Structures are given as structure tokens and as C-alpha cells.
Amino acid sequence: MKVSLSVDLGRLRLANPTMLASGVLGYSAAMMQKIAECGAGAVVTKSIGPKPRKGYSNPTVVQTSSGLVNALGLPNPGIDGFIEEIKEAKKLLDVPLVTSVYGYTPEEYTAVAKKAAAAGADALEINVSCSHVKETGSEIGQNPETLQEVVSKVKAAVSRPVFVKLSPNVTDIAVIAEVAVNAGADAITATNTVKAMAIDIETCMPILSNKVGGLSGPAIKPVAVRCVYDIYEKVKVPIIGCGGVAEWQDAVEFILAGASAVQIGTAIATRGLNVFRRIARGIEAYVARKGFESVSDIVGLSHHK
Ligand SMILES: Cc1cc2nc3c(=O)[nH]c(=O)nc-3n(C[C@H](O)[C@H](O)[C@H](O)COP(=O)(O)O)c2cc1C
């Protein structure tokens, strides 16, 4: 029996549930085309802000025994410097293009989102969860009033689907997800990195120039799966699972917890670009083996008795 791998994220249809996570290779149209050719069902750009940002000086990434800790500091060309890349990506891609946006105020988030949508982005992902840049990211996403204002202003300004990417560094992520959904979010991405650090025992100093960064990779998968499970119990919009997906079994676990799609970041470094196709095929075989017709039949299955 032929299994359907296509999933809907609001009005956005993906041919399969794998997506490129923001910040990991989504810097150029050519690279995003390559990722799509390797089987990703959608691609998400690096987070783009209102102005160019250099990011932090090195070291910005450290490998630990359980994953990467990064504090790149959101390096990006700013939305005006990225518009041509969005237009070019739209010409090259045959999968949906999601542009990740950030700002320091609700008005800045809105201005960046409007420009990205006008350039052709199929959806926006609002980054309210970066763990290491002051006055944006998780500082916005941890504050329900500001989050509500950001999401509702972006929603009022663009007609494209709006995804909200949340931080796991909160007491109750489901409550935050509910705020985002009540403000108009079409989907929730869960999660961004877990706040972390590493110290060099010879120099006795933090390794990252920013001292604190965000942990990604296998270590955070159980945290992110729990976040997706909790959010699924609280809201009705689609959830995109993210954190430590490296094999098809990881993706299936997220889907059973309630995710309609999964994003993949760190595993590209450890598994290579073919990770998207391999995971999609693994999900397909699993769904068929379990006797279902479509991947959407197993979304949230672990909640049923
Ligand atoms: C080097 C690096 C850069 C990242 N940059 C961004 C970013 O610009 N915007 C964002 O929302 N998330 C960013 N992230 C977080 C990832 O999108 C993802 O949420 C996180 O790494 C967990 O997924 P993973 O374990 O599959 O990597 C970055 C992660 C890494 C490792």
C-alpha cells in the first residue's frame, strides 16, 4: 500500500515532514536548493533581522559529548540585504520557503516579516527563542505580553502563514504556545536550543566568546519531545518538532508526541545532507508497517489510550 507522506502546516502543504532548521545552512538560495534536492520537504532560512549583524567573535561553536553549544550571535545581512536571496530561492526551490525573522520590538518583527513576505517567502517563522542575544529571541518569547504583541502585529501585517518558534527555557512551554496561538500563530515550532555553556578546564574560562550559548543535538531530543507532547495537549494548531532529530526513529517519536513535521539542524553535520531523504523514507516504511495510510494518521498517537 502506498503511504502518503504529505503534511499540512496550516495552509502550507509539505510533500514530506522533514524541514531544514533555521540557522544551519539556510544562508543562501543555492544552499537551500541543495537541501531541497536532498529531500527536505521545506527549508527555513537563517534568522533575519532589521539590520545587518556581525555576530560574535570566535569561538562561537563548541562540540560537547552530547551535542553542540553555539552562540553565533545571529549573524545575518539584515532583511534589505537578504531580499534578493529570498527572490532567488523562490525561483530555484520546488519546496516551500520559510523565512525566519527576528527584531528587538514588535514593530521591527513586523517590518522584517512584511519585507520577507513581499519578497516571496511562503511562510514566516518568528524567532522568539534565540538563547544568547540580548533584547530579542527568548527575552521576547518568555514574556507573554510582548509575545502576544509580536505575533498579533505580524499576523495583521502579512497574509502568509506564521509559525512561532519557542524556547524550551521556560517554566511551562504549553502556556506560552497558547499565548502565541491566541495571538494568531498558524503553527508552533518546538523547540530552539537549550541554554548551556562549556568551560575549558586548562584556561579555567568559558569556551564561547559569549560565555553562554544554546545546546542542540541528541541531548535535547527528550526535552523537545516533552515540549511537543505538552503543547499538543493544549493547542489545536500544527506543531513542528525540533531538537536532536538524526534518524527516522527520532522523527517518528516527535510525530507520535504530536508534531506534524520535524526540523533538522545539527544532524546535518553528523549524518550529512542525505539525512532528509533517509528520514522521510524511514517514516514512510514505519507508517506502512504499522498499517496506516498517511503520516498524518500517526500525529499525536501517543496521547490516545
Ligand atoms: C549553528 C546553529 C545556528 C542556529 N541558528 C539559528 C537561527 O538563526 N535561528 C533559529 O531560530 N534557530 C537557530 N538555531 C537553532 C536550530 O534551528 C534548532 O532549533 C536547534 O539547533 C535544535 O535542533 P537540532 O538539534 O536539530 O540542531 C541554530 C542552531 C545551530 C546549531
Q: Convert the pLDDT of each residue in 79-109 to its tens digit.
A: 999 999 999 999 999 999 999 999 999 999 9
The total of other beta-carbon atoms located within 10 Å of residue 137's CB is 23
Per residue in 258-281, pLDDT (tens digit) is 999 999 999 999 999 999 999 999
User: What is the 24 CA–ligand 1 centroid distance (Å)?
Assistant: 6
**Rounded to whole angstroms, how far apart are CA atoms 137 and 166?**
9
Residue 242 annotated to the active site: no
Average pLDDT over residues 198-211: 97
The ligand 1 atom nearest the CA atom of 76: 8
Pocket of ligand 1 (CB under 6 A): 21-24, 46-47, 61, 68, 70, 72, 74, 100, 127, 165, 192-193, 216-217, 220, 242-245, 264-267
Average pLDDT over residues 213-241: 97
Three-state DSSP state, 179: helix
Domains of the chain: 7-57+70-195+214-303 (3.20.20.70)
Q: Is the pLDDT of residue 17 over 70?
A: yes
The closest residue, in CA terms, to atom 14 on ligand 1 is: 23
Q: How far apart are the first and last CA of the chain?
A: 26
Strand partners, 144: none
Average pLDDT over residues 106-118: 97
Cα distances from 149 to residues 109, 174, 186, in angstroms, run 10, 18, 15
Output the pLDDT for position 280: 98
Q: Taking the CA of residue 1 as centre, how many other CA atoms within 13 Å lie in the half-sphere pointing to its CB?
A: 12
The Cα angle at residue 140 between residues 232 and 241, in degrees rounded to 5: 30
User: What is the 293 CA–ligand 1 centroid distance (Å)?
Assistant: 32
Q: Are strands 239-242 and 259-264 parallel, antiparallel or unpaired?
A: parallel
User: What is the 25 CA–ligand 1 centroid distance (Å)?
Assistant: 10
Whether pTM > 0.95 for this model: the answer is: yes
Three-state DSSP state, 263: strand
The share of the chain scoring above pLDDT 70, in percent, equals 100
Q: At residue 29, what is the residue type? A: A
